[in-house]
Amino acid sequence: MRMSSSGRLNAKRAIFSRPLTRTRKPVMMKILCCACLLLIGGPTTLAQTSNSDRCTVAVADPQTKKSAQLGSFQTIIAEEELTTRAFRLARTGLFVVASVFYTDESMVSEKGQDSISLELALSKGKQRDVLHSLSWAEAEMPLSTFDVGRVTTLIRANRRSKLVVMECRKAR
């Protein structure tokens, strides 16, 4: 380490002028990784806990009466905000694309103009494409009185009819 003319350690120069050693490098990497995780994951975590609803997507076979949950996701509640998730339909090359959209323009009720739109589509790809979907269903309801909502569509996959359901619940 270098000493200053007054005999005191110039700690700042000593720390930053040394190359990273084996003991300092892992610590610096851990700090950098933690900072990146906080920057990337922090806002998402806050959005999911304080301002979001929870949606679950499931598929059922009406003939065998078997059902399976495809997955669930958190929405982001904001004006004109679209949350879309795609779930692979087992043993097919198809995807169930679930979307939730919050708006203040399409449905006016006595309790306000904000609404929530729930949408399901059967697609060959993971992207939301209403016009090219194999099957599509939509349900809209006022947001001011929303506590639970459901949209259902009947699809045909592998020569069998299946019922796809998305249910969304207000976060508490």
* Range of the structural domain that residue 165 is part of: 52-169
Pair 91, 153 in one domain: yes
Of 7-11, 69-73, 132-136, 147-151, minimum mean pLDDT range: 7-11
In angstroms, rounded to a whole number, what is the distance separating the alpha carbons of residues 141 and 111?
12
In a domain, 40, yes or no: yes
Pair 76, 157 in one domain: yes
pTM tops 0.75 = no
pLDDT of residue 77: 87
The three-class DSSP label of residue 124 is: coil
- Residue pLDDT, tens place only, 98-132: 999 998 877 777 777 889 999 999 999 888 888 78
Give the DSSP letter of residue 132.
G
Nearest to 72 by CA among 50, 87, 90: 87
DSSP for 19-86?
A: PP-TTHHHHHHHHHHHHHHHHHHHHHHHHHHHS--EEEEEEEETTTTEEEEEEEEE---STTEEEEEE
Q: Are 99 and 86 in contact (CB under 8 A)?
A: no
Instruction: Work out how many domains the chain is built from and give that number.
Output: 2
Pair 105, 24 in one domain: no
In angstroms, rounded to a whole number, what is the distance separating the alpha carbons of residues 2 and 19?
14
Pair 112, 91 in one domain: yes
pLDDT at 23 over 50: yes
CA end-to-end distance (rounded Å), the chain:
57
- Residue pLDDT, tens place only, 51-97: 889 999 999 999 998 999 999 999 998 888 899 999 999 889 999 99
